[in-house]
Structures are given as structure tokens and as C-alpha cells.
Amino acid sequence: MAHDKLIPAHREPPWLPLPFPLQLTRAGLSGFPSPAQDYEGRTLDLNERLVKRSASTFFMTVTGDSMEALGIQEGDLLVVDSSIDPRPGHILVATVEGELVVKRYELLGNRPYLTSGNPRYRPIPAADLECQAWGVVRAVIHEYPV
């Protein structure tokens, strides 16, 4: 990820009203409701949904396969919030020896490690290297080929 650009969130994001079909997003089967039912007047603002603090939020595009088992694939867009203090279990963007990486923060034997979702990549001992957390991943946007 060393060549990716950070894309800041808009301080005053443009508002684009998108239909928010709540009725159609249920899990399980309970019949098919009318597409017009409970649809009118509801909108979805992706900025409101995904960006909690615009001043500390940025976006990044993922390269590589180290996080695929955790649902983060090459080409995905990450929504990252630098105001969140990382805790074990968080997925975060960090610099390791000057290179940007996306990893899961874990404590292994009370020592901090950055781990991948791919067994081909060894855990990174954060205390032994020059590491700095940039932010916690709040969301992953994955586009399907169409």
C-alpha cells in the first residue's frame, strides 16, 4: 500500500438522496412486500452512515491479499477514522518501517502484534519495529463485478 493516496472525507459532504428500502433488506423469508411499501420518504446518506467524524476520516484503496480471509480484498475502499484509539481486535491502517499496511491489532502473550487474515503472512511484532497506527477501519466498501 505504499503508493496509495489518502483521500480525505469532505468536511461538508455533498448530499445525495438515495432511496433507503428498509423493507427489502430483512434477513429471512416473510413474503415479498410491495416495492412501494414503506419506501417513500426514506433516504440513505452514506456520509452520515459511514463517516462519523469528517475531520479525522479518510479513505484508502487496498492492494494485496493479506486480509482476504477477513473480508478485505484488493481494490476495496476502506473508511478509516484516525480519532479512534486502536484496541485489540480492531482492523487498522498503520505504518510499519515506513510502509502503510492494513492489519488486525492483537495482543499475543501481552505483546502487540499486527496480524493478517492470510497465513502466508507472519504476525508483525509491533513493539520490535517502528510502527504507528494511523486509524481504525470503520467500514469496507467492496464492489462486485457487473
pTM check: above 0.95: no
Cα→Cα distances 93→22, 96, 124, 136, Å: 32, 10, 13, 6
79 belongs to a structural domain = yes
68 belongs to a structural domain = yes
7 belongs to a structural domain = no
Q: Determine whether 66 is an active site residue.
A: yes
74 belongs to a structural domain = yes
Domain CATH code at residue 109: 2.10.109.10
36 belongs to a structural domain = no
22 belongs to a structural domain = no
Write down the catalytic residue from 52, 82, 83, 103. Answer: 103
Write down the catalytic residue from 30, 52, 54, 66. Answer: 66
Q: What is the pLDDT of residues 35-77, one digit of tens each?
A: 655 555 567 778 888 888 888 999 999 999 999 999 999 999 9
6 belongs to a structural domain = no
Query: 116 is in which domain, residue-wise?
Result: 53-141
108 belongs to a structural domain = yes
Enumerate residues 6+ apart whose C-beta is below 8 A from 10.
47, 54
Q: What is the pLDDT of residues 66-124, one digit of tens each?
A: 999 999 999 999 999 999 999 999 999 999 998 999 999 999 999 999 999 888 999 99
Q: What are φ and ψ of residue 50, in 5° steps?
A: -105, -25
Number of domains in the chain: 1
Q: Determine whether 54 is an active site residue.
A: no
